[in-house]
Structure formats: structure tokens, C-alpha cells
């Protein structure tokens, strides 16, 4: 177990300076996510039109992994079609949970999160933002929980 594999430079950077931080004033979609184990809370607000995720903001408090994951996700999905976003979700899920998966080429910077799977207690921290994004797109009213 190598900490440097978990806290890669990209992750430390995105934790220190999260991108797309905050809340869209008039989002078309929004959802809240909680990770009761560590008390992480996240709100994702989206601007979606014509099947394209045009803008995104993430706001909340959480550990370095959840903060960096939300920041990386926001960069990765912005400007992409919902079909592409769904494809990314599948690849991220695969990367976080299956041991032999090689991060796909579409993942780009998101591949920095591949070290998380060696730390089972932290997988939920990395996946919280993605589940919250999905809930927002699905129009779920109830907050999602990683439990």
C-alpha cells in the first residue's frame, strides 16, 4: 500500500484548488450527496440543454479524495453529451472497483484516481460525486448516500 499512489500530485492539486467550485444560480439539474462514514457533503448543480452538459459546479465539504474527485469530474464532463458522461461514469466505476482494469484512454486526468481502489475504505469518497451527478441528471429529489 503506497500512499503516493493515492495522493498523486494531480489529486493534491485539485484538493488545494478545486475547479468549478460553487453553485450555478439557476441550474437545470441539482442534487445533494452524503457520505455518512466521513461526513462528506456535496451539492452538484448542472446546466443541461439539448442533451449536452454545458456547465457544472460542485460545492460541499469533504476529504481530499472526494474534493479532488469532484473537481476532476467537473472538468471531465463539462461540454460533453449526456451519452459521453454516462460512458465516463462506467469507466470511472470500473477503474475504482475492479483490480485489473487498465484506465481507458478516455479517462484522461481521471486516471489519477486509479490508486484509490487499493484503499477500499476510500472508494466511496471518490465515487460520491459521480453518484450525485447521476442523481442530478435523473432528477432525484432525495439526497443520495454512499451507505
Partner 1 sequence: MIALATEVPPGDVERLRAQFPALCRRVNGHLLAYLDNAASAQQPAAVIDAIADYSRNHHSNVHRGVHTLSQEATALYEGARGKVRGFINAASEREIIFVRGTTEAINLVANTLGRTRLQPGDEIVISWLEHHANIVPWQLLCEQTGARLRVVPIDRRGVVDFDAYRALLGPRTKIVSLAHVSNALGTVLPIGEFIAEARDRGIATVVDGAQAVPHQRIDVQALGCDFYAFSGHKMYGPTGIGVLYGREAVLATLPPWQGGGDMILTVSFERTTYNSLPWRFEAGTPNIAGAVGLGAAIDWLAEVGMERIAAHEAELLAYATARLLTIPGLTIIGTAPDKASLVSFTVDGIHPHDLGTVLDAEGVAVRTGHHCAMPVMEFFDLPATARTSFALYNTRAEIEQLHAALTRAIGMLR
User: What is the rounded radius of gyration, in angstroms, for the C-alpha atoms of the chain?
Assistant: 14
Residue 103 CB partners (closer than 8 Å, separation 6+):
91, 95, 110, 111, 114
Q: Which residues contact 52 (CB under 8 A, 6 or more apart)?
A: 79, 80, 81, 82
Nearer to partner 1, 53 or 65 (CB): 65
| Binding flags for partner 1, 93-122, as an x/- string (CB under 8 A) | --------------------------x-xx
Check binding of 123 to partner 1 (CB under 8 A).
no
Kindly state whether residue 64 participates in binding partner 1, applying the rule CB under 8 A. yes
127 binds partner 1 (CB under 8 A): no
Contact indicator for 31, 43 with CB cutoff of 8 Å? yes
- The grid coordinates listed for 20 are 468549478
- Count of C-beta atoms within a 10 Å radius of residue 147: 8
Using CB under 8 A as the binding rule, whether residue 32 contacts partner 1 is answered as no
Q: Which of 10, 48, 52, 63 binds partner 1 (CB under 8 A)?
A: 63
Rule CB under 8 A: say whether 62 interacts with partner 1.
yes
CA 107 distance to own-chain centroid? 12
CA distance 35 to 139: 19
Q: Which stretch binds partner 1 (CB under 8 A): 22-30, 34-42, 77-85, 92-100?
A: 34-42
Among 17, 22, 23, 61, binds partner 1 (CB under 8 A): 61
Q: Which residues of the chain form contacts with partner 1 (CB under 8 A)?
A: 1, 3, 6-7, 12, 15, 37-41, 61-65, 67, 119, 121-122, 125
Amino acid at each position: 500500500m503506497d500512499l503516493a499512489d493515492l495522493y498523486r500530485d494531480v489529486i493534491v492539486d485539485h484538493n488545494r484548488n478545486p475547479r468549478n467550485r460553487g453553485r450555478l444560480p439557476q441550474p437545470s439539474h441539482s442534487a445533494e450527496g452524503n457520505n455518512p462514514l466521513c461526513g462528506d457533503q456535496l451539492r452538484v448543480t448542472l446546466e443541461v440543454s439539448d442533451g449536452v452538459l454545458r456547465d457544472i459546479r460542485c460545492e460541499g465539504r469533504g476529504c481530499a479524495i472526494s474534493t479532488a474527485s469532484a473537481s476532476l469530474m467537473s472538468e471531465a464532463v463539462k461540454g460533453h453529451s449526456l451519452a459521453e458522461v454516462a460512458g465516463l461514469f462506467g469507466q470511472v466505476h470500473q477503474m475504482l472497483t475492479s483490480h485489473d482494469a487498465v484506465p481507458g484512454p478516455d479517462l484522461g486526468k481521471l486516471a489519477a484516481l486509479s490508486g484509490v481502489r487499493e484503499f477500499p475504505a476510500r472508494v466511496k469518497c471518490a465515487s460520491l460525486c459521480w453518484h450525485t451527478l447521476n442523481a442530478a441528471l435523473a432528477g432525484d429529489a432525495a439526497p443520495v448516500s454512499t451507505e
